């Protein structure tokens, strides 16, 4: 049985540099989706103000009540008013628009990819830890 000498157990600098660069590159590629998700503003998934959903088209997603009565019925009866410059104006159905927050749907769709990225980051971190502590021993090339 041969034992490893100090020279055989150390990894050449060139190979160590290549492994380090490769490890960091793959880690950053796997971490990018996670980083993007963490720094993304929360309000980007709201319906844009220019694309407000009319009250009639939103009936299958939301119902709005005022004093226990549906807002659509109150608007149709002309019972909802706002003050514009001190002058009361009666609202109609076309005056009411809704914005929806779709972040829960988008995040649910992205969750599997984020979990995969987290798993890859964990595996790379374990590899880097093994590499840094010297658990991956370089044995050199053997002649054929």
124, burial (CB in 10 Å: exposed 0-12, middle 13-18, buried 19+): buried
pLDDT at 8: 54
Q: pLDDT tens across 130-143, in order?
A: 877 777 766 667 77
pTM score over 0.85: no
Residue labelled with tokens 């590899």: 127
Q: Is the predicted pLDDT of residue 65 greater than 50, yes or no? A: yes
Residue 88 tokens read as 């009361």
Concatenated DSSP letters of 67-90 = TTEEHHHHHHTT--EEEETTEEEE
Q: pLDDT tens across 20-50, in order?
A: 888 889 999 999 999 988 888 777 778 788 8
């Amino acid at each position: 049985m041969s034992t490893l000498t100090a020279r055989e157990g150390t990894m050449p600098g060139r190979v160590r540099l290549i492994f380090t660069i490769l490890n960091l590159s793959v880690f950053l590629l796997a971490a990018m989706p996670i980083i993007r998700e963490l720094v993304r503003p929360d309000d980007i998934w709201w319906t844009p103000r220019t694309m407000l959903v009319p009250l009639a088209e939103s009936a299958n997603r939301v119902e709005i009540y005022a004093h226990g009565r549906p807002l659509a019925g109150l608007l149709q009866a002309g019972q909802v008013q706002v003050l514009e410059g001190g002058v009361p104006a009666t609202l109609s159905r076309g005056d009411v628009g809704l914005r929806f927050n779709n972040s829960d749907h988008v995040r649910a769709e992205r969750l599997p990819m984020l979990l995969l990225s987290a798993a890859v980051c964990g595996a790379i971190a374990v590899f880097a830890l093994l590499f840094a502590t010297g658990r991956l021993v370089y044995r050199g090339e053997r002649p054929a």
